[in-house]
Structures are given as structure tokens and as C-alpha cells.
Amino acid sequence: MYKIATIIGSLRKDSYNKKLMLALDKLKHPNIQFNILDIHEIPLFNQDNEQNPPPAVVNLKNAVVNADGVLFVTPEYNRSIPGVLKNIIDWGTRPYGNNCWKNKPTAIIGVSPGKVGTAVAQSHLRSIMVSLGSILLGLPEVYFIFTEGLIDQNNTITDEGTKKFLQGFLDTFNAWLAESC
């Protein structure tokens, strides 16, 4: 069983990306256990606190270190990643030499109502994570344009083509984890 630390890059209660993650978790993935990390209590990074980080940061870093991999589920804000996500990434690299992202198998997915989905945000996130030493799953790229009805009130994917595509992502992610872990 691969334990995957899952980080949703949105704090919004009804986040489309949270809905995507909950829908993804309903698909078949017998060898993957997703652990959605609570990022609500992570304060803004302050270098004055990096030697003695707040408990929420310690918990986040421990969850990532103890996971077999990471899944980022991110929206796109202003053609980039949300500030909350960048903040978490920064905390994960501090103090210097204590980078929880290094050599961690990592995948990225996302959904947004914008015309390019989360393609640009994912591109930025990939460049950040590569520079931090994460091992990234390159394909398939998973970014959707969120439309009403794509995910129902029970967090189930309603479109069979989308469901099949996401199942393919999970199958690929599982096989890749077997090679990477």
C-alpha cells in the first residue's frame, strides 16, 4: 500500500480541487491510500521561525517525510499556483538542508473554471518541484476545466470519458510508484 500525502492548494470550503480529489478517491486504487493534509493552520513562512517551526508545520513535514509520495491537487490563480501552496512548499524546504520534498515521488493534478484549466499553474509547480529535487510523474497531465455537473453533490465524476481518463491516471500513478518507491 502506497501512502500518498495529498495537498489541496485551496482553502475554500467548496473547492473544486477538493471535489476532484474526493471524486478521484472514489475510483479504483487498491494499492494507494490518500491522506489529505490539512493546511488551514499553516502560517505564512517567516525565516525567524524556521529553526523552531509551529506544530502545524512540523506535522505537515512529518506527513510528507513518512509518505511514499505526494499528490498536489491545485487550482490556478492568476496564471500560477496559489500563494498558500507556495507557502507550504517553502516551509517544506526549511531550515536549509531539511527539504521534505527531495527524492519524493510527486504527481500534480488540478481543475479550474478557466479556459486553460490548471495548465499554467502545473507548469510553474513542476519547475519549482524539480528544482527542489522531487521526482515528478510527467504523464498523464491532468488539468480540467471545471463545469457544473462534472462532479456531482456526492463527489462522483458524472462524465464517463473523464472518469476513464482519471482511472488511467490512477493506474499510471500506481505503476509509477511501484517503480519509484
User: Considering the entire predicted model, what is its pTM?
Assistant: 0.96
Instruction: Supply the pLDDT for residue 175.
Output: 96
Instruction: Supply the pLDDT for residue 114.
Output: 86
Domain extent listing, the chain: 2-180
145 pairs with which residues across the strands? 112
Residue 181, pLDDT > 90, answer no
Q: For 2-180, which CATH superfamily applies?
A: Flavodoxin domain (3.40.50.360)
Q: Model confidence over 44-86: pLDDT tens digits?
A: 999 999 999 999 999 999 999 999 999 999 999 999 999 999 9
